[in-house]
Structures are given as C-alpha cells and as structure tokens.
Copies of this chain bind each other. A is one copy, B any other.
Amino acid sequence: MRQSKMLVPTLKENPSDADIASHQLLVRAGYIRQLASGIYTLLPLGKRVLSKIEKVIREEMDRSGAQEMLLSALQPAELWQESGRWYTYGPELMRMNDRHNREFALGATHEEAMTSIIRDEIGSYKKLPMTLYQIQNKFRDEKRPRFGLLRGREFLMKDAYSFNESYESLDESYQMMFDAYCRIFERLGLNYRAVIADSGAMGGKETHEFMVLSDVGEDVIAYSDTSKYAANVEMAPVVQTYEKSAETPLEKEKVATPDQKTMQEVADYLDHGLDQGLKSIMFEVDDKYVLVVTRGDHEVNDVKVKNLYDAKVVELASEEDTKRLMGAGFGSLGPIDAPEEVEVVADHAVEAMVNITCGANDEGFHYKNVTPGNDFAPDRYADMRFIEEGDPSPDGKGIIQFARGIEVGHVFKLGSFYAENMGATFLDNSGKSQTMVMGSYGIGVSRTLAAMVEQFHDDQGIVWPNQVAPYQVHVLSLNPKKEEQRVLADKIYADLLAEGLEVLYDDRPERAGVKFADSDLIGIPVRIIVGKKAGEEIVEMKRRDSDSKEELSYDSVVEEIKNQLA
C-alpha cells in the first residue's frame, strides 16, 4: 500500500489522555482513534494487526476441535433473567429497549445465548462434549474505561464454551483449551504466564488467567523463577518450611504499650523485630467471627480466609465488633483469652514461634514472651498468609518472584451454574436425564493487541514481531521528487508485491526525518531505505529491532528480505 494514499495519521505528541505505552503508541502511530470514552476505531493499520491475531486464534481453536459460530450482540433480557445475571451483573451490563419496549442486553459474554442453543438442540450424551466459539464484539459499560484498548467498553473477544457430560470430561475440554491458549500466546511471541486464579463467585472450581507480563498490568502474579508455576498472588499456597524456635519459653508478661498503634510501633517500643510479634485481625466470615493471627511481618490473605471457610462473604470486622467481642480495638487484639464465639485460626508460621509479642485485648497493653501452644491454642493452624518474593515455589521448583500482568485470556470451569438455571440437560447412556457441565474460555483479542505493544516497543515506537506486523516490509523513498529515487523505490515496491510480501511504501512528499520517525513509530520489521545511492541502485536495509544498517544492491533486495523474514 502506498502510504500517501493510506489512512495512517501519525502524531508527534502523546495524546494527553494516554498514560501507558500501548495507548500512546497505538494512537500516535495511527493504529486507533477514540470515538467515545472506551470506544475505539481500528484504523487500517490496527485492523491489519487485529486480523492477524484473530487468524492465529482461529487456527488454534479449530485445531483444538472447537467449532466457530457467530452469535448476536443483542440478547433478549429473558435469557439473562433465566441465568439470574440480569439482576446481578450491575451497570456494566448495557441494556436497552427495542421499539416494542422489549428489554435487551448487549452481550457482555455469551454463556446465556450459547446455553440456550445447546439446551434446545442437544439432547443426548452422544453429541457431548462439544466446544463452540466465536470472535465477536463484547459490550461492558466500564465505570472508568482507561488504557486505550486494555479496558474499553466495546471490544473484540474470542469466547468459547464447552458443554460436557461430566466433570471428568470438563477436565479434558479445559485442558484442550488451556493447551490451545498456550499455543496461541506462544505463536504471538508473548512473555506470558498461565496463572492459577480465584474462581470467585461463579461456583466454578478451577480457573487460569493468561497474563502477559507487563509493569502496567493491573494484577500481581507470583511465579517461579525456574518452573512454569504462576498464580495470582492471593492464590499461591505457602510451602511450610518453618522450624520451631529453639528458645526456651519464658513466662508471659503483660506490658503497657501506650500510644503504640501499629505493629511496627509496638515492635520498636519493645525493641524486637516485626517477626517477633503476632498480627491479629478479626474477620466477619459469613455469619461468624474469625480472628486470624500471622507472624507480624506477614500479610493476612483474605482469599485464604474465604476458601478455608468456603465462605460467601469475608469482610474485616468493624472496630465496634472487636471492642464488643474482644474488649479492645484493632491495635490491641490478640488470641489469648479470645471468647468462644470467636474462632482463632493461626498461620503455620505462628506455630514455630517462641517468646513473642501479641495484643492483650486491653487497650494500650500487649503480652510479651508469649509462646503459641503454651499460652494459647488456636482452633486451628492453616496457610493464612500471602506468599512473598523469595518464598519457595509451591511446585517445589525454584523461588517465587512477583510481576505484574495484563490478563489476555481466561479459562474457567463453570460447572453447572448456567445449565442448571437454564435447564440444559441431556440423556446419559443409561437414558437418565442429567444436567450439563460447562466451561468458558475467553481471549481479549483487542486487549491482546495492546498487550503486544506493551511487550514489543522501544522509546521510538512499536517493534512488531513478523507474525502480526501490519506489513512485513516498509519501503521508504527518502526524496521521491528525485527521479532515480522514485523509480527505484517504485521498482522495489513492485518486486516485493510480486513476491507476495506485504509492503507499506512511504512515497509521501515528506522530509526524510519525518519518514524515519513515522517508520519507527509504526514498527514494521524490515525497512528498505531508498536514498542518495539510488542512482547506483544501492539501498539500505534496517531491521526495526536492531540499530545496524546494511547496504544492499537492488538485485539482492528480494532475497535478503526473505532471509530476514524467514
């Protein structure tokens, strides 16, 4: 394509509303424009990259045996009422009325629509398992759309749904999708982790998020420095490697700690380390109260509280409650003499401690020389803390590191939530009616595009890998007013097209500096520069991902470019 005729509106300055590289560069390099808050137009360059990402996804989905469909964005409210999500989804679900005043949702996901089809069309175990997918626009009315394509209100998604006759079968479908996702993100060249995630409130069991590592990610993940292990930081179990302290337990002693409010203040006041104190936090877990105690330098993990009690809701207890039940406010809580209606659960690390400090449940007082087991016995010990960098990896391989991640994919064992609510049943091989089991599997396609820019850019612009670059070769004629430059560039452009290569040809009457800057912004892998030596039929070749340039004679251009792209 001749750049002079293409819609590639590059900008010199970063747009004022763009805080992260992908948002800045996609706008500046002419890939996207915002139409309204969180709503973007893919310009020709952006659409080309998006289509290439789609193609990779489609190929791997097809290879996995999933069947492509195309569902509508408009979905009758009745479907969402059947699943219950009409009432629980909140304002993120975009709703509207048609001319007959019937209510519709714009699909945020398609569990309901897909389940209704399968419920109506599939009645026998013989047709199961079946995995169906589509690549289609989704609508979510985000409260604060931001980061360009990373969090928009209308965005392209690949969503897939498996329908299974059993949980064992779901395990298999899940694994097939998991493997397909790995192939997809590997083919895209992304540095990603498949991360064990929280299955949340959907009733599902197992779930992985596919995270592209990036400092702008909204989630923190804990991963092993040597294995594939990765988990959302709140999901990683802590390996128990504590050894009981050899110290001789002393008599516990109540001491005044006037005006010492934080753990750190108390430790300093009593002149010991944070790890010699006990952190005590009270939670309201559904309808009971739980006092969680950890070592002072550890953080209580509320997801672990929730999972330990298989609870629906976990909240910090109010200070009013702690005073009423424990006799003290937040700063002076401790496990000693906790009342019966408060369950005490201690992290495994606590069991190894001797002669430590804890709150005395008396405003302004602490106990010192407390030894768990001697001075109090928790109702149970469990893994209650957040994993930390430097902890051993839960898979036994390597050491935990932290990184931020952008969620680009999600595989999820839904279980029978939708099938039950919507009556999706089948006859098993003994003729008995059973409820289907489902999985759902999503990839944010436009988000993946943005995530790729986060991983593939430098200070000058985007640095696309070949497999998704909008074009493979960027031909620059530095001064097309000079006959010999124009003629040679035209010839090379035609040659490369004839070879079936995708070529962007900067034939614009712009200064060389503008062309170089735009070319760096746009980020096409290989660049051919037709300049002063055009009369000798000599051009320069430069890869976008390297600083070195190479002179080539016209005759060798096609072959050399093929080498570079191979």
Contact = CB atoms under 8 A, between A and B. Distances in A.
A6, A99, A121: most-surrounded residue (chain B CB, <10 A): A99
A327 interface: no
Contacts of A106: 96
Interface string A381-394: 00000000000000
Nearest to A141: B99
A130 B5 contact: yes
Contacts of A36: 72, 74-76, 102, 104
A4 B126 contact: yes
A96 B94 contact: yes
B74 A39 contact: yes
Interface in A493-510: 509
B99 A96 contact: no
A36 to B, nearest CB: 5
A289 B406 CA distance: 69
A201 interface: no
B98 A70 contact: no
A35 B5 contact: no
Main secondary structure of the interface of A (DSSP, over half): mixed
Nearest to A78: B36
Contact of A35 (B1, B42, B75, B91): B75
A72 B154 contact: yes
Contacts of A292: none
Contact of A47 (B9, B43, B70): B70
A139 interface: yes
A4 B127 contact: yes
A41 B74 contact: no
A50 interface: yes
A67 interface: yes
Interface stretch (A112-120, A263-271, A296-304, A422-430): A112-120
A68 B44 contact: yes
B33 A72 contact: no
A36 B75 CA distance: 8
A20 to B, nearest CB: 21
Given A35-B113, A41-B117, 13 more contacts: A7-B127, A33-B121, A35-B74, A39-B74, A41-B70, A42-B70, A46-B70, A48-B68, A72-B137, A73-B73, A73-B137, A74-B153, A137-B137
Q: Which 6 A-B pairs have the closest CB atoms?
A: A96-B96, A42-B70, A9-B121, A44-B67, A91-B99, A36-B76
Interface of A: 1, 4-7, 9, 33, 35-36, 39-44, 46-48, 50-51, 65, 67-76, 79, 91-92, 94-96, 98-99, 102, 104, 106, 113, 116-118, 120-122, 126-127, 130, 132, 134, 137, 139, 141, 143, 153-154, 156, 509
